[in-house]
Amino acid sequence: MQPWRKPIAALAATASLWQGQAQADCDKESQCSFKKPNILLVLDYSSSMRGAEAAPAFFPPGQTLTTRWDAELDAATWILQYRQGFFADNARVALARFAHDPDPLQPATIISTDRSFPPIVDGFALDVPFDGSNGQYLECKSSAVEAAIEVLRTTPPPAIGGTADFNSIMLTWTRGALRSAHDLVKRTREHHRSEPGESARDYEVVLMTDGDWTCPDRVGQGCDENPAPEAALLREAGVPVHVIAFGDATMQPSLNEVALQGGTVNAIDATSPQGIVDAFNSVLDGIRDKVIVPSCTQKLARIMLVMDASSSMLEGAPPGETKWDKARFALTGNPAAPNPNDPGYVEPVLTRKLTVGGREVAVEDVVHLGMVAFGGADEQKLIANFGPCMRDNLAWALDPKTSCEAPGCTDPYASAPLTWTFKDSDVAHKPPFVRRTHSYMPGCGMSSGPLNCQAPTTFTGQGLEFARKVVNDYKANSAPFTTDDQTRFVNVLITDGQTSAGSSDVQKILSQLVSEGIDTYVIGFGGDTEIDRAQLDRYASWGNTQRAIVVDPAQAGSSTALADALSGVVMSLQLDSCCVLQQCATTPEPPDPHSVCGDGRVDPDELCDDGKANATYGHCGGDCKSRHLHCGDQRIDAPQEECDDGNTRSRDGCDARCRFEVSDDDAGTPTGVGSPDAGLVGAAGLARSFAPTATAGTGTRSNPQTAPLLGAGGMGTTQAPAKSDSCGCRLQQQGSAPPKLWLLSGLLGLWTYRRYKRRR
């Protein structure tokens, strides 16, 4: 029996999962507002990930008994756990492994000691694909990835033995892995190219490795197999290559080169178990913020609560029984009764679960909420602008105790008059809220009895005009959240009485809002003697929502009834259950989203952003923090450059475009770095001329490619850091003077001779 057939029985039990058996809360792509990104995890299956039987490759050395291989599998599992399964629900994750090819000239070759299934064939194995056997995308397959990882835990790479038999251990042929990954992406794109929107689908490659690259069939860099050019080809095809470096690889500049050419700037060091999580989080945060967040934040409905703050909202009731209290309980819950079994408990609308697309989601997870308050003709206040997870903000802002400060107020339920001290959360709340919030309470002037606030006024028109201004200002600058023409904006007017004489024209303002795409729902929160139902129905009709909703606050359970009414409003909106960008129950104060590198807009924490041109020659880098490869960076990047002397000045042998210049007295003969006059034929030729010898194990061999780190076009720079093979063996450079010193000495002599010749 072939050795790799042993794990088949274990895998057979999970084979059905490859067909995309759905987890309960995973949405099909047709239900989502974005194209699910395809993420390919490429795992290093070399023997150095396991180490020797007598000396396992613990990760990190001396700190844990977890080998690098197990740590790598833990990292692969983490993508399914990230943000409560965000990518398990909203992305397709494929899983592959790589090692070397014992016979590059013979197709379909495997390594005799490989016990895995599917086996490494020609240096690559695809454990979980993007497609099912029917040719359709696998929609929800986190279980398949988990199952494949558990099988791989039972079949680690072969250990490093006591000999240098490179046909019995797994080596690290990284370029072949990236080439196979590129072929997989091309096949997948071609297979699905006729499907709507497929050209816009995002692909990402995440490479995890602990060692430097090797040749297909032997250790070291004694062949033209630098993986950086292959990473550059993936980047040029629109597929960023993220590199997570384990163990000794954290010290290897070559992996930084792979990341640089792959458009992600630097390899991410995973130097501890927590470092794995941190490294993977940074990769996933970048994918989420670039691909899913922009589409989803545009899709999330913006709901502006237009709250009646007339004096009648406070009148004549004991603590917790005013209409203002009941309204805030409906929104944020009763702080005196936080548990369902507590007397007076109210399940607030923001934490209510709605069924959307067959999936339960919390209201606050799928909407952005803002609030304004209004009372008299000149009494309008922005409490909070649109934002996610606003429950704590509103609970603080609407609590009478927040704004009750001596001497104007010592008891918010005492006899009038009450003078409120309105608070700014940036100053008064410790720590400040992520989204700035202002407290507010209805005015309560002189009265003839306990909390019988005098002369209540309800200037509804002015309140709606103020809400319109807030919404339009937000549309003009919604940072840090993005909106577009498809973003749904709605107002919810909550009022307890009839509009006062002298109010602005309510019909006019509601009609203007509708013309701007903003509908207004109307909730009357008062008894029959307080509200005019016919008037509120007219408001709803003018606001394009047909009929008003009326809740009597004098009835038992009125806070719950108001929360029910608000839930009904939310359910009537076009919600996207895929776009649960945060879990407010676990992260009630999520940070604002990061700037999106690649959107073509230079945000405050970015130095540049050239959009789709990022991470290409001469443009912004892949992290928007600096330029990518460019003329003047002291490295020769073919085919764009012939030379690079570290500046963009001309008439010094290498011109402003990093092309050789012709001297005044030697027309036709280029001079400068790498010129024939210097006895060189370009950087690649220079590197081969001064190639050191490398020692690996007990043998010594020629190593003609140690010096260059290849650029996007295959031409190398002259930077030559020491390399490490896939067994952890350090390649020793031999010889007296480094190649750079020979080059600099020759150039200095040539320059002195030319200066002397010109002066004569």
Gap between the Cα atoms of 662 and 653, Å rounded: 7
What is the pLDDT, as a whole number, of residue 749? 41
> What's the distance, CA 186 to chain centroid?
24
Q: Do 291 and 324 sit in the same domain of this protein?
A: no
Q: Are 346 and 563 in contact (CB under 8 A)?
A: yes
pLDDT at 188 over 60: yes
Q: Are 149 and 83 in contact (CB under 8 A)?
A: no
pLDDT at 490 over 50: yes
Q: 677 lies in a domain?
A: yes
Sign of CA dihedral 470, 476, 481, 483: positive
Q: Are 93 and 581 in contact (CB under 8 A)?
A: no
pLDDT, mean of residues 144-164: 86
Gap between the Cα atoms of 595 and 589, Å rounded: 18
What is the domain extent for residue 719? 661-759
Residue 84 pLDDT grade (very low, low, confident, very high; cuts 50, 70, 90):
confident
Q: Are 152 and 118 in contact (CB under 8 A)?
A: no
pLDDT at 431 over 60: yes
Residue 242 pLDDT grade (very low, low, confident, very high; cuts 50, 70, 90):
very high
**Beta-carbon contacts of residue 341 (< 8 Å; ≥ 6 apart):** none
Residue 343 pLDDT grade (very low, low, confident, very high; cuts 50, 70, 90):
very high
pLDDT, mean of residues 254-269: 91
Please tell me whether residue 744 adopts helix, strand or coil conformation: helix
Which strand (E) or helix (H) includes residue 306?
strand 301-308
What is the pLDDT, as a whole number, of residue 314? 85
Q: 645 lies in a domain?
A: no
What is the pLDDT, as a whole number, of residue 555? 92
Which strand (E) or helix (H) includes residue 671?
strand 670-671
Of residues 496 and 670, more confidence is placed in 496
Q: Are 269 and 335 in contact (CB under 8 A)?
A: no
Q: Are 101 and 177 in contact (CB under 8 A)?
A: no
Beta strands in 66-180 (DSSP E): 92-98, 124-128
Q: 264 lies in a domain?
A: yes
Residue 475 pLDDT grade (very low, low, confident, very high; cuts 50, 70, 90):
very high
pLDDT, mean of residues 57-84: 79
Gap between the Cα atoms of 76 and 751, Å rounded: 54
pLDDT at 144 over 90: no
What is the pLDDT, as a whole number, of residue 510? 98
> Tokens 């699910």 — which residue?
36
CATH number, position 461: 3.40.50.410
Q: Do 680 and 694 sit in the same domain of this protein?
A: yes
Angle at alpha carbon of residue 530, lines to 526 and 532, rounded to 5°: 95
Q: 364 lies in a domain?
A: yes
What is the pLDDT, as a whole number, of residue 666? 53
Of residues 330 and 250, more confidence is placed in 330
pLDDT, mean of residues 708-720: 35
CA-closest candidate to residue 56, choices 71, 42, 76, 43: 71
What is the pLDDT, as a whole number, of residue 727? 30
Q: Are 549 and 522 in contact (CB under 8 A)?
A: yes
CA-closest candidate to residue 264, choices 625, 714, 592: 625
Q: Are 237 and 258 in contact (CB under 8 A)?
A: no
Sign of CA dihedral 452, 453, 455, 458: negative
pLDDT, mean of residues 464-482: 94
Q: Do 305 and 293 sit in the same domain of this protein?
A: no
Residue 695, φ and ψ in degrees, nearest 5: -115, 130
Q: What is the CA radius of gyration of the chain?
A: 33
What is the pLDDT, as a whole number, of residue 689? 28
pLDDT at 707 over 70: no
Pick from 32-41, 89-98, 137-146, 569-578: least confident: 137-146
Pick from 306-320, 414-428, 519-533, 620-634: least confident: 306-320
CA-closest candidate to residue 386, choices 309, 470, 466: 470
Give residue-wise pLDDT tens across range 357-384: 777 889 999 999 999 999 989 999 999 9
The three-state (H, E, C) secondary structure of 172-220, written as one string: CCHHHHHHHHHHHHHHHHHHHCCCCCHHHCCEEEEEEECCCCCCCCCCC
Gap between the Cα atoms of 134 and 340, Å rounded: 48
Q: 587 lies in a domain?
A: no
What is the pLDDT, as a whole number, of residue 367? 94
Pick from 131-135, 139-143, 477-481: least confident: 139-143
Of residues 13 and 652, more confidence is placed in 652
Gap between the Cα atoms of 37 and 665, Å rounded: 58
pLDDT at 16 over 50: no
Q: Do 444 and 511 sit in the same domain of this protein?
A: yes
Structure tokens at 632: 């003047």
pLDDT at 517 over 90: yes
- Judged on CB neighbours under 10 Å (0-12, 13-18, 19+), 55 is exposed
CA distances (Å), origin 418, targets 314, 406, 407, 414, 755: 11, 10, 10, 8, 89
Neighbours of 259 (CB within 10 A): 23
Query: Which residues, in sequence order, are bridge partners of residue 702?
Result: 693
Gap between the Cα atoms of 434 and 502, Å rounded: 38
Among 529, 555, 571, residue at a domain's last position: 571
What is the pLDDT, as a whole number, of residue 26? 66
Q: Do 284 and 311 sit in the same domain of this protein?
A: no
CA-closest candidate to residue 731, choices 720, 742, 716: 720
Residue 102, φ and ψ in degrees, nearest 5: -65, -20
Give residue-wise pLDDT tens across range 30-57: 777 788 899 999 999 999 898 888 888 7
Q: 282 lies in a domain?
A: yes
Instruction: State percent of the chain over pLDDT 70.
Output: 79
Q: What is the largest CA-CA distance in the chain?
A: 109
Helix residue ranges per DSSP H, 409-449: 425-428
- DSSP string for 690-701: T--EEEETTEEE
Structure tokens at 101: 């090819």
The three-state (H, E, C) secondary structure of 79-96, written as one string: HHHCCCCHHHHHCEEEEE
Residue 664 pLDDT grade (very low, low, confident, very high; cuts 50, 70, 90):
low
> What's the distance, CA 368 to chain centroid?
19
Give residue-wise pLDDT tens across range 307-334: 999 988 987 678 889 999 999 999 999 9
Pick from 121-135, 639-653, 680-694: least confident: 680-694
Q: What number of helices (H) and strands (E) belong to the chain?
A: 20, 18
Q: Are 118 and 97 in contact (CB under 8 A)?
A: no
Q: Do 350 and 279 sit in the same domain of this protein?
A: no
Instruction: State percent of the chain over pLDDT 90.
Output: 49
Q: Do 134 and 252 sit in the same domain of this protein?
A: yes
What is the pLDDT, as a whole number, of residue 25? 57
Q: 361 lies in a domain?
A: yes
Q: Do 159 and 290 sit in the same domain of this protein?
A: yes
Task: Label the pairing between strands 301-308 and 353-356.
Answer: unpaired
Q: Are 404 and 410 in contact (CB under 8 A)?
A: yes
Beta strands in 484-534 (DSSP E): 489-495, 518-525
Residue 173 pLDDT grade (very low, low, confident, very high; cuts 50, 70, 90):
very high
CA-closest candidate to residue 548, choices 514, 525, 574, 522: 522
Check residue 291 and report its DSSP letter.
I
Q: Are 412 and 419 in contact (CB under 8 A)?
A: no
Gap between the Cα atoms of 661 and 649, Å rounded: 11
Neighbours of 456 (CB within 10 A): 21
What is the pLDDT, as a whole number, of residue 751? 39
What is the pLDDT, as a whole number, of residue 437? 98
pLDDT, mean of residues 630-648: 92
Total count of domains within the chain: 3
The three-state (H, E, C) secondary structure of 562-605, written as one string: HHHHHHHHHHCCCCCCCCCCCCCCCCCCCCCCCCCCCCCCCCCC
Beta strands in 332-410 (DSSP E): 353-356, 359-362, 367-374, 380-387
The three-state (H, E, C) secondary structure of 214-278, written as one string: CCCCCCCCCCCCCCHHHHHHHHHCCCCEEEEEEHHHHHCHHHHHHHHHCCCCCCEEECCHHHHHH
What is the pLDDT, as a whole number, of residue 2? 40
Among 275, 297, 319, residue at a domain's last position: 297
- pTM score, two decimals? 0.74
Q: Do 282 and 327 sit in the same domain of this protein?
A: no
Gap between the Cα atoms of 107 and 408, Å rounded: 86
Check residue 488 and report its DSSP letter.
-
Residue 753 pLDDT grade (very low, low, confident, very high; cuts 50, 70, 90):
very low
- Judged on CB neighbours under 10 Å (0-12, 13-18, 19+), 340 is exposed
Residue 425 pLDDT grade (very low, low, confident, very high; cuts 50, 70, 90):
very high
Give residue-wise pLDDT tens across range 104-138: 899 999 988 898 999 999 999 999 999 888 888 87
CA distances (Å), origin 117, targets 127, 184, 519: 8, 19, 57
What is the pLDDT, as a whole number, of residue 455? 61
Residue 374, φ and ψ in degrees, nearest 5: -145, 155
Q: Do 253 and 384 sit in the same domain of this protein?
A: no
Q: Do 282 and 305 sit in the same domain of this protein?
A: no
pLDDT, mean of residues 543-562: 95
Q: 399 lies in a domain?
A: yes
Residue 75 pLDDT grade (very low, low, confident, very high; cuts 50, 70, 90):
confident
Q: Do 563 and 452 sit in the same domain of this protein?
A: yes
What is the pLDDT, as a whole number, of residue 447? 57
pLDDT, mean over the chain: 81
What is the pLDDT, as a whole number, of residue 553? 94
pLDDT at 688 over 70: no
Among 543, 571, 599, residue at a domain's last position: 571
Residue 341 pLDDT grade (very low, low, confident, very high; cuts 50, 70, 90):
very high
